[in-house]
Structure 1
Amino acid sequence: MDTEGRHDAPHTASRPPAGADRPDPAAPHPAPPPTPPPVAAPVAPVAVPPPPAAPPALPVPPPAKPATPPGAPEPPLLGWLRAPRPAAPPGVWTYGHRPRAAEQPDRVPARQLISGAVISFLCGWLLWSLLWNGYLGPYWIWPVSVLAPDAWIAGETPGDRIAFAIASQLYYALWIGGIAVVFGRIGRWPELGRRFLMPLVRRARDRVPAAEPAPAEDPAQWPELRAHGAPDAADRLAAEARTGRMNDVDVARIGRAWHSVRAGRHSLASFTDTVLRNGAAACAHPSGRRDLARRTAHHDLLAHQVRIGTAADHPRNPYQHRGAGCALEPGLLGTSLLAVGPSGSGKTTRLVRPVVESMCLQSLAGRCAVVAVGPAGADLGPDDAFDRVVRIGRPGPEHDLDLYGGTTDPDEAAGILAEALVGDLAEQLPGGDSRRAATALAQLLGPFRGAHDRFPSVPELRELLDGAPEAVAALRTALESAGALTLVRELDARTRQSARTGDVGVLLADRIALLDRPAFAAFFDPEGGTRQVSLRELDRPLRIRIELPERGHAEASRMLARLVLAQFTESAVARTDRSLFACLVLDEAAHTITAEALRGLQRLRSANAGAVLTLRSLDDVPDALRSALLGAVGCRMAFAGVTTWDGARFAEVWGKEWVETRDVTDRQIIAVGAGMKAFHLFRHLITGKAATAKAVTVRTVERERWSASDLANSVPAGHAVLSVTSVRGEHAPPVLVDLRP
C-alpha cells in the first residue's frame, strides 16, 4: 500500500450493540438450508445451556464461508487481519510495510535518465530504419538466405511461402530484440521502468480486490483453532468477524486467551464453551469494556505496535528506514525509554499519549498492566480509559494510593518509603545512600505493625519520627501488652538514635511533613480498604492513572513520583506471573532519578516490564547519574530544541559510524599552444568561468551519528531523533522521526 499502512486499525464501539448475540440485521444473511436432504446450515449460534448429566449436542455452527450476496461490502476488520506484516528492523511499523534495500542504490537524476532513454531509443530506431531500408547493404539478411531451404525461398507452394515469411519475421524479431537489449542497457530502460512504471502498476494492483485466501491460511477463519480441536469456536468467531460484531481488541484478547489454553493454563472445553456463548465478547476484560471510546493514534494490536511518526527522508537516516513508519511495542519498551525535550516539543501529545493509549488497549486485550503518572491536567487520556484514577490532593477522592506499596514486610516498606523521602538527598546522607533512612523507618514501621496489625498513617508516622513522647510511650505500652519484646528493643534503639546529633530521623520527619497537609488529609489511609490502589496488582490487566499535585505542592509531587517509581520497580520484579507486560509511564520525571532507581530500571528488562520517562533536560538529573541513565535505558529519544549540553550526552551514547566522503577539487587547466589558448578564451567569454578539471577524492572516515550541534540546531520542529533496542538485543541506529500527524 502506498500509504505505508497509515490507516488506523478498524474497530467498533467499545460495547457490543443491542442484540449482539443475534445475527446483525444489517449484515448479509446466509440462505436457509433446504429440508431434504439435511445438511449443515448457517444457523445463528445460540447459548449453550449448563451441561446436565448427559451433555446435549452443541448447536450446529455456521459454515466457514457462507454465501455472501454479490457486491456486499467486506468488513474492514477482515482486511486488517489479512494485511501483510513483513519482518522489519526494530521500531518499524510493520502493517503494510514494504522493505527497502539496506543501501541506497546509485540513482541517476530523473531528467538525465529520461533524456538518455529517449536518445538511446531514437538511436536504436535509426539503426533499424537504416537496416530495413537497405542503406547498410543486404548483408544483414544473408543468414536467412543461407539457412532457409531453397523451396522456401522459391515459394513454389503457399506452404513454402508461409514458412519463409515466418522464418523471416523471426529473424527480424531477433534483430529488433538485440537492438532493444543493447540500446536499452545504454539508455537504462530497466531503471526507468522500475522508477516510474512499477509504482503505477503497484497502485493499480492495490486497487484490485485481492483473492480471498484459503481457509487454512486465512487469519479471519482462525486456522489455529481449527487445527487444534476448536472448529466450533473458530466458526463462531469467523461469523462474528464477517458480520462486523468483532473489533481488533476482541481479536487480540481472544488470541491471548487461546495462547493460555495452548500453554495449559486453561482447558480447551471451557474456552470453547465461553466463545460459543459470548462470541466476540468472550474472555472480556474485568471492566467489561472491549474498546476505548476514542483513539488518537494508529494501533496494530496483532503486532502490538503503536505508530508515533514517520522516518524522515534525511541523509542521516539509514536508507532502509526512510519513509517507513516508526512504532513502539512492548518488546522495545521492555528496555525502557527516555525522552528529553523542552516544554512544547511534543513529549506528552506525540509520545506519552499514544503509548498510554496503546498500553490501555493491550490491557483490554489482557496483555498488559499500565500505570500512567503525570501532573494534574496532563493529557494522558480520558477517565473512562482507565480502571482507577487517583487524583492526589483533590477533594472527594474515589481512589487512594497505598503509601507502602501493598507490602506487609516492614523492611521492604521502609526501603521503598526511604527512597521516596530522601532518595534525591542520598549523597548528603551518612554513607552516601538511603540505607540509614531505611533502617530508621524500619525501626518504627515494624513495631507499629506488630502492635496495630497495620502501618501508620502519615500523621502517626510524623509523630514517631519527631519523637513525640506520647506517641512513643503509647506504642511501647501496646507492644509490652502484646509481649513483643523484640519489637520493644527496636523501638528503644530508635529512641536512642534520635537523641544523637545529625540523626536521619529529623530529615525524614521534615520530608514526611510535606504529605501531612490538609490537601492530603483524605489520602494515604492504611485502612482505606478497596479505595487503596496498590502496585502489587501488576499481575492483572489493570489500567491506573495517578495525577500528582504539581501546582502548589511541587516538592511533594516529586516525592510521590519517586514513591511510585520505587513501588513499580519493586512490584514488577516481585511478580510470580510475568506473562503480562507491566509498563510505567512517568510524564515529567525530574528529580526522580536516583542511584537506586537506576538499579531498579535495569532489573525491569528481565521481568517483562519497562518504563517510559520524560525530562525537560538532563540537568534535572544529578550530574553523576546522567551517563548512567542513558546507559540504563535501551530506547532514547531527543526532541527538537534540546541544548548542546544534552545533545553531547546523546551523541556520546550513540557513538560513531564509518561513512564515505567525497572531496572535489577544481584545478585550472593550463593551455598549451595558441589554439588551446584561443579555445579557453572563447569558453571563458561564453561561460564566464575559467577552464578547470575536477579531482574527486573518496575517503572512509569515522563520524558521529548525530553530533551535539546537529541535535541542537538541525532537528526541525515536530521531529525527534529516536534509537531503539529490543529485549532480544536487536537495535536500530538513531533515526530522525517526523512526529506530526
Structure 2
Amino acid sequence: MDGTYGQRTGGEPPVSEPPFLPGARKDPPPRPPHSPGRPSGGPFDLRSWLATPRVGGIPGVYGLGHVPKRQETEPGSAAVPGRTLLARGALNLVVAWVVFLYGGPVVFQVLGWVFHLDRLSADGWTSPYVLVQGALQAAMIAVLVWIFGRMGRWKEVWRRYAAPALSRLVTHERPEPGDGPGVPGVAEVDPWEGMRGAGEQAGVWRLDEETRRGAVGDVDYVRIRRAWQGVVADPGRLRQFAEEVAGRGGAACAHPSAARDLDRRWAEHDLLARQVRLGVAQDVPKNPVTHRGAGFALDPALLGTSLLAVGPAGTGKSALLVRPVAEALCLQALANTACVVVVGAADADLGPDASYDVVIAPGDPDSAYGLDLYGATQNTDEAAARLADALLPDELALRAEGARATVQQVVGPFRAAHGRHPGVQELRDLLLGEAPAWSGLYEALRAAGRLEAHRHDLQQRERQHGRADDPGTLLADRLALLDRPAFAGCFNPSEPELGREKPPFAMRALDHPLRVRVKLPEQSHPEAARMLARLVVAQFVQAACGRQDRSLFAGLVVDDAAAAVDGHTVRGLQRMRGANAGALLTLRSLADLPETLRTPLFGAVGCRMAFPGIAPWDGRLFAEAWGTVWVQEKAVTQTPDTSGGLLRRSARAFRGLLAGTPVQTESVTTRSVERQLWSPSDLAHALPTGHAVVSLTSVEGAQVPPLLVDLRS
C-alpha cells in the first residue's frame, strides 16, 4: 500500500513515495519505549488517552485535561489573598452568630409585645406559638446571612475553597483491585467505531487486539484515522484500506520512512488536537480569565498565521520554542498530516538527525542529500528570480529587478538548450560572459531549434557584458561562495560533474509528509549560509503557496531568521494563510533586519512573541501592535488637617507630637486613563527569566490578547 495513503480527501490517486528518499523501509521498526500516556517501558493506553476530556475552541489553551476557570463572581475577588478572605469570612460568621444568640430573643420579645403573641397557644411542637417563633427565627437567619454573607464574601469562600473540596470528596472514585489503567468510563470508548460498521472486521479485530496490548500509539491512531477519512471521501479505497489494516495492524498506512514515532520526545503533545504544550499562562490580571493558569499550546490553526519571536541569545528561543514546535510538526508528519522544513545552524539543537527524513548539511562530507538551487518550481523564470534574490546582498536590494532579469536571461535559454538547469560553475561562466560558455550555449540552442525564441534574451545579456553596472559580475562573485570544494556535490552540478552529485532535495516535494532539516554552515562559511537561508525560505514560500494539494499543513521553522527574510518572504507570509502553511521565525533583534522590512514583517505575521531582555526600540513595535487599555488611576493627596476648634487642634498637635508626624487628611481622586497593555519598558526590563509575552491570531481570525507565559512549566 502507498506510504502516503489517505493524505488526499478527493478522488485523485495517492501520491507515490518521493524519489529523493531512497531505501524507504517497508517493514515498520519496533516502537520506541516511551511516548505520551505510556509509562516508561509500559504500554500505551489508547482508550484512556481518547477518554481524557479535551476543551476546544480556545486559541492557545492546551485542551487535553484542561478545566476551564470560572469567571469571578465579584469584582476584585481574585485580588483578595486567601488568608484575608478566610479571616474576613470567619469574623463575619462569629458576629452573625452572636447577633442571632443575643439579638434573637430581644427581637422576638418586641414582636410578641406588639402583636400579642403571648395569647397564642403553646401546647405541643405544632402549636401556633412554636410555628410563629420558628418562622421568625428563620427570617432572622436569612437576613443575617444576607447582610454578613455579603460583608464576609461567603459566596467567594464557597467558590474558592468549599466547592472544590466537596467536588473532590464526592467524585473521587478508587479503582477496584484488578482494574486496568484509565478513567471511569474508558471501557465505553471505541477508538475504531467508524470502521467497525464498514463490513471488513478482520482489520478491526487486529486493531482491537493491538490496542489491548498497548501496541497502538497516538501517532498510529491519528495516521489510521486520517486514512479512514480518505476512505469515507472515496469509498473505492475501502478494500485496499481493509487489506492494509488486516495485514499490518497499527503499522498500516505508514509514513514513507516506516517510522511510527520519534526516538524520544522532549515536549508534551496532543496529536488528536495537533497541539504542543509549551508552558503555562500565568494567573495575573493582564492575562484573560480564560487563559489564567491554563497550559499554553500552539497548533497549525495558529501557526498558519505565522509566528515571529524576538529575544536575545540565551533567553530560550531555541530550546523552549523552536525545538518543541519542530518536534510537533515532525510527529504530525509521521501521522501523514503535515510536512516540515527546519532551518538553522549546524550546531543548533533542533532535534537529532534521526528525527528527520532528509538532512541537508552543505559543507559536511557525510551529508547524504544536496539542495536543488532551482527546486521551488518548474517555472524557470520564478526559480531564477528566487536564486537572484538569494545571491544579492542586503545593501544592494534596490538592484533586485536587474539581478532577476540577468539570471532569467541565462537560466531560461540554458534549460531550453540542455533540458536541465545550469550547474554552479556553468552559471558563473555565463554570468561572466565567458566566450566558450556562450558559444556552447548558442550551438546547443541552434541544435535544439530554440535559438530564435531566446535570441532577444541572449542579445540583452551580451550588451551588458563588460559594463561597470553589469549585475552579472556581482552575481557571479556571489555565486563563487557556493562554488567551493567544501560544497562539492551539494548543489546543482555542471556538465563535467554530472553523476557525482548527492541526491538533491527540491522544495516542490512539499506534497509529501516529509521531515527536512537544513543545517547551515554558519561557522565555516557565514556568507554562504546567509544566501542558503534566504534561498531555502524563499523556495518554501513559493512552493507552499503554489501547491495543488493543500491537505498537508506545510510548516517552516527558522532558528535565527535575520538572514532569511526579504521583501518576497514578507509578502509570501501573508499568502500562506490561505494555503494551509505557516512559519515560525526567530530573531535576536529587529535591528538585524533592514529598517524597511521591520514594520511590514510585524504586520505580516499573526502571532508575536517577546522574550526577556529585548531592546526598548524592539519593544516599541510590540507595544504599538498590542495597543492600549483603559485603567482606573487613583491619585492620593495628603494635606495637614486644620479643621475644628481650639480643643480639636490642640488634641491633633499633641497626637502629632507623640507620633512624630503631623496629622494629615487624604483625598482620593479616581479617573480613567489609557495605558499601553505592555509598555516597551516592561518588555525590556520586567519580564522574568524563562517567560515570554505572546499574542495569537488564528487562521479563522480569532485573536488572543498578549499572554504572560511561563515556558519552563
Whether the 8 Å contact between 1:423 and 1:594 is mirrored in structure 2 is no
Deviation at 1:607, TM superposition (A): 0.7
Deviation at 1:273, TM superposition (A): 3.8
Q: In the alignment, residue 351 of structure 2 is paired with which amino acid?
A: G
* Equivalent position to 1:520, from 484, 487, 490: 487
- Which residue of structure 1 lines up, in the alignment, with residue 410 of structure 2? 444
- Which residue of structure 2 lines up, in the alignment, with residue 463 of structure 1? 429
* Equivalent position to 1:560, from 521, 529, 532: 532
Q: In the alignment, residue 244 of structure 1 is paired with which amino acid?
A: G
Query: What are the equivalent positions in structure 2 for 1:521-670 lying under 5 Å apart?
Result: 521-526=488-493, 531-670=503-642
Greater shift in the superposed pair: 106-115 or 384-393 = 106-115
Deviation at 1:696, TM superposition (A): 2.5
Q: What is the Cα-based RMSD across aligned positions, in Å?
A: 3.3
Aligned mates of 1:74, 1:181 — CA distance in 2: 55
* Residues 521-543 of structure 1, C-alpha deviations (whole Å, 9 max, x = no match): 12113556881111111111100
Aligned mates of 1:718, 1:387 — CA distance in 2: 31
Query: What are the equivalent positions in structure 2 for 1:126-205 lying under 5 Å apart?
Result: 126-130=98-102, 138=109, 153-154=122-123, 171=135, 174=138, 177-178=141-142, 179-204=144-169
Whether the 8 Å contact between 1:304 and 1:329 is mirrored in structure 2 is yes
2:65 counterpart of 1:99: no
2:709 counterpart of 1:714: no
- Which residue of structure 2 lines up, in the alignment, with residue 344 of structure 1? 314
- Which residue of structure 1 lines up, in the alignment, with residue 451 of structure 2? 485
Unmatched runs of 5 consecutive residues or more in structure 2: 1-27, 33-40, 175-181
Deviation at 1:229, TM superposition (A): 7.0
SS at 1:713 equivalent: helix
Whether the 8 Å contact between 1:93 and 1:305 is mirrored in structure 2 is yes
- Which residue of structure 2 lines up, in the alignment, with residue 30 of structure 1? none
Aligned mates of 1:691, 1:86 — CA distance in 2: 57
TM-score scaled by structure 2? Answer: 0.85
Aligned mates of 1:324, 1:205 — CA distance in 2: 24
2:293 counterpart of 1:323: yes
Aligned mates of 2:427, 2:171 — CA distance in 1: 68
Aligned mates of 1:142, 1:259 — CA distance in 2: 82
Deviation at 1:139, TM superposition (A): 6.2
Over the matched positions of the two proteins, sequence identity in percent amounts to 47
* Equivalent position to 1:400, from 337, 358, 370: 370
2:58 counterpart of 1:89: yes
Aligned mates of 1:579, 1:591 — CA distance in 2: 30
Aligned mates of 1:519, 1:101 — CA distance in 2: 61
Aligned mates of 1:420, 1:205 — CA distance in 2: 65
Whether the 8 Å contact between 1:16 and 1:281 is mirrored in structure 2 is no
Deviation at 1:632, TM superposition (A): 0.8
Q: In the alignment, residue 411 of structure 2 is paired with which amino acid?
A: L
Aligned mates of 1:207, 1:342 — CA distance in 2: 47
Deviation at 1:467, TM superposition (A): 1.3
Aligned mates of 2:287, 2:508 — CA distance in 1: 42
- Which residue of structure 2 lines up, in the alignment, with residue 494 of structure 1? 461
SS at 1:613 equivalent: strand
Q: In the alignment, residue 394 of structure 2 is paired with which amino acid?
A: D
Deviation at 1:707, TM superposition (A): 1.6
In structure 2, do the counterparts of structure 1 residues 675 and 229 end up closer, same or farther at CA, with 3 Å as the change threshold? farther
* Residues 678-714 of structure 1, C-alpha deviations (whole Å, 9 max, x = no match): 4434543565544434333222222112222221111
Q: In the alignment, residue 410 of structure 1 is paired with which amino acid?
A: T
Q: In the alignment, residue 702 of structure 1 is paired with which amino acid?
A: E
Deviation at 1:245, TM superposition (A): 1.6
Q: In the alignment, residue 316 of structure 2 is paired with which amino acid?
A: G
Whether the 8 Å contact between 1:144 and 1:168 is mirrored in structure 2 is no
SS at 2:297 equivalent: strand
Deviation at 1:622, TM superposition (A): 0.8
* Residues 125-147 of structure 1, C-alpha deviations (whole Å, 9 max, x = no match): 22343368x56665668999979
In structure 2, do the counterparts of structure 1 residues 677 and 640 end up closer, same or farther at CA, with 3 Å as the change threshold? same
Aligned length: 661
Aligned mates of 1:633, 1:265 — CA distance in 2: 40
SS at 1:524 equivalent: coil
Whether the 8 Å contact between 2:47 and 2:191 is mirrored in structure 1 is no
In structure 2, do the counterparts of structure 1 residues 609 and 211 end up closer, same or farther at CA, with 3 Å as the change threshold? closer
Aligned mates of 1:618, 1:263 — CA distance in 2: 46
Q: In the alignment, residue 513 of structure 1 is paired with which amino acid?
A: A
- Which residue of structure 2 lines up, in the alignment, with residue 61 of structure 1? none
Deviation at 1:624, TM superposition (A): 1.1
In structure 2, do the counterparts of structure 1 residues 273 and 696 end up closer, same or farther at CA, with 3 Å as the change threshold? farther
Deviation at 1:547, TM superposition (A): 0.3
Aligned mates of 1:258, 1:142 — CA distance in 2: 83
Deviation at 1:468, TM superposition (A): 1.3
Greater shift in the superposed pair: 570-579 or 652-661 = 652-661
Deviation at 1:552, TM superposition (A): 2.1
Aligned mates of 1:731, 1:602 — CA distance in 2: 16
Aligned mates of 1:213, 1:734 — CA distance in 2: 38
Greater shift in the superposed pair: 439-448 or 258-267 = 258-267
Deviation at 1:398, TM superposition (A): 0.8
Deviation at 1:386, TM superposition (A): 0.6
Aligned mates of 1:201, 1:75 — CA distance in 2: 32
* Equivalent position to 2:477, from 488, 510, 513: 510
In structure 2, do the counterparts of structure 1 residues 239 and 687 end up closer, same or farther at CA, with 3 Å as the change threshold? farther
- Which residue of structure 2 lines up, in the alignment, with residue 702 of structure 1? 674
Unmatched runs of 5 consecutive residues or more in structure 1: 1-13, 19-26, 28-72, 156-160
Q: In the alignment, residue 254 of structure 1 is paired with which amino acid?
A: I
Aligned mates of 1:631, 1:600 — CA distance in 2: 12
Aligned mates of 2:363, 2:520 — CA distance in 1: 8
Whether the 8 Å contact between 2:59 and 2:696 is mirrored in structure 1 is yes
SS at 2:312 equivalent: coil
Aligned mates of 2:203, 2:119 — CA distance in 1: 71
Aligned mates of 1:535, 1:707 — CA distance in 2: 41
In structure 2, do the counterparts of structure 1 residues 244 and 177 end up closer, same or farther at CA, with 3 Å as the change threshold? farther
Aligned mates of 1:189, 1:373 — CA distance in 2: 56
In structure 2, do the counterparts of structure 1 residues 545 and 144 end up closer, same or farther at CA, with 3 Å as the change threshold? farther
In structure 2, do the counterparts of structure 1 residues 120 and 17 end up closer, same or farther at CA, with 3 Å as the change threshold? closer
Whether the 8 Å contact between 1:225 and 1:234 is mirrored in structure 2 is yes
Q: In the alignment, residue 496 of structure 1 is paired with which amino acid?
A: R
Deviation at 1:315, TM superposition (A): 4.1
Query: What are the equivalent positions in structure 2 for 1:167-246 lying under 5 Å apart?
Result: 171=135, 174=138, 177-178=141-142, 179-204=144-169, 207-208=172-173, 212-213=184-185, 219-225=189-195, 237-246=207-216
* Residues 506-555 of structure 1, C-alpha deviations (whole Å, 9 max, x = no match): 11111111101111112113556881111111111100001011112111
In structure 2, do the counterparts of structure 1 residues 539 and 423 end up closer, same or farther at CA, with 3 Å as the change threshold? farther
TM-score scaled by structure 1? Answer: 0.82
SS at 1:397 equivalent: coil
In structure 2, do the counterparts of structure 1 residues 488 and 284 end up closer, same or farther at CA, with 3 Å as the change threshold? closer
Aligned mates of 1:280, 1:690 — CA distance in 2: 82
* Equivalent position to 1:304, from 267, 270, 274: 274
Query: What are the equivalent positions in structure 2 for 1:370-449 lying under 5 Å apart?
Result: 370-405=340-375, 407-422=377-392, 424-429=394-399, 434-449=400-415
